[in-house]
Amino acid sequence: MRPIDDAVCPASSFSAAEREAVYHAIMTRRDVRSQFLPDPLPDDLVTRLLTAAHHAPSVGFMQPWNFILVKSAEVRARVRDAFLKANEEAARMFDGERQEKYRSLRLEGIVEAPIGICVTCDPSRSGSVVLGRTHNPRMDSYSTVCAIQNLWLAARAEGVGIGWVSIFREGDLKEILGIPDHIEVVAWLCAGFVDRLYDEPELAVKGWRQRMPLDELVFHDGWGQIKT
Ligand SMILES: Cc1cc2c(cc1C)N(C[C@H](O)[C@H](O)[C@H](O)COP(=O)(O)O)c1[nH]c(=O)[nH]c(=O)c1N2
């Protein structure tokens, strides 16, 4: 192990342009369903995205993630079929006009995107007692989501769109991809180059739901206490 004092270095500051770039990626990141270009993603680019994901924080530094890269059109078609089945079940959970609206939405680009990335979480990655997970077993899934967000933002900076698809029966994805029982499926990400993006969430543009005002979500010194 390195001497601990050697490992602490100055916190490098960001230039104004670097700071702006970080916020630019955050503010213009989109969930992409229909804008994927068919061009394959170069392997070195995919490695950069996965490296960004792999530098995410994780509870107890357990790094519970795996990434299954799916280029096979045949496998993606099976995943799409699993989506279609679940999506029909999902549609029936909404009533009346809301169901009609739901059915009009595009909620995946599994076959159109040139690569799918299935992100999983292995709760057994660093034994059964994990620093930081001792009192909340969901912390490993949360860590995996941090990795996905890193990948999503890096992708935005690389001109790559990402679409998170979660409308599946987990067992279907496990069967298609041969994922063991004890592994949790966290996300199916559609990934591909994009040259056009919505300038606000597609669900907002299509009238499903709007962004909430931030000040309604911030409390002070206790639940429900808004600043006067
Ligand atoms: C955990 C999780 C799961 C899903 C999503 C996101 C997240 C975080 N989103 C994308 C979601 O609809 C989108 O993020 C919001 O509508 C906001 O839009 P932007 O991401 O800002 O473009 C998503 N979108 C979709 O079309 N099908 C889906 O199954 C899902 N599932």
The ipTM value here is: 0.99
Whether 140 is covered by a domain: the verdict is yes
Residue 173 belongs to some domain of the structure? yes
Q: What is the pLDDT of residues 140-166, one digit of tens each?
A: 999 999 999 999 999 999 999 999 999
> Taking the alpha carbons of 105, 111, 112, 113 in that order, is the dihedral positive or negative?
positive
Ligand 1 centroid from CA 117, angstroms: 15
Q: Which pLDDT band holds residue 107 (cuts at 50, 70, 90)?
A: very high
Is the pLDDT at 228 greater than 80? The verdict is no
For 209, the domain range is 31-216
Confidence of residue 3 (pLDDT cuts 50, 70, 90): confident
Ligand 1 is surrounded, with C-beta below 6 A, by 30-31, 33, 107-108, 164-167, 201, 203
**pLDDT confidence of residue 20:** 98
Region 27-56 average pLDDT: 98
Give nearest CA residue, ligand 1 atom 9: 164
Mean pLDDT of 17-45: 98
Q: Is the pLDDT of residue 176 over 80?
A: yes
Which pTM value belongs to this model? Answer: 0.97
CATH number, domain at 37? 3.40.109.10
In a domain, 198, yes or no: yes
Task: Give Cα separations from 123 to 111, 118, 126, 182, 183 (angstroms).
Answer: 30, 16, 8, 8, 7
In a domain, 23, yes or no: no
In which band, very low, low, confident or very high, does the pLDDT at 127 lie, cut at 50, 70 and 90? very high
Give the pLDDT of residue 45.
98
If one counts the domains in the chain, the total is: 1
Whether 117 is in a domain gets the answer yes
User: What pLDDT shows up at residue 227?
Assistant: 79
Q: What is the mean pLDDT of residues 92-116?
A: 98
**Could you tell which of 27, 29, 30, 31 is best to mutate to test the pocket of ligand 1, judged by most ligand atoms within 8 Å of the CB?**
31
* Residue 87 within any structural domain of the chain: yes
Is 17 inside any structural domain? no
Sequence-distant (6+) residues with CB within 8 A of 134 are none
Q: What is the pLDDT of residues 53-92, one digit of tens each?
A: 999 999 999 999 999 999 999 999 999 999 999 999 999 9
2 pLDDT tier (thresholds 50, 70, 90): confident
Nearest ligand 1 atom to the CA of 204 is 16
- Ligand 1 atom with the smallest distance to the CA of 148 is 8
The answer as to whether 13 is a domain residue is no
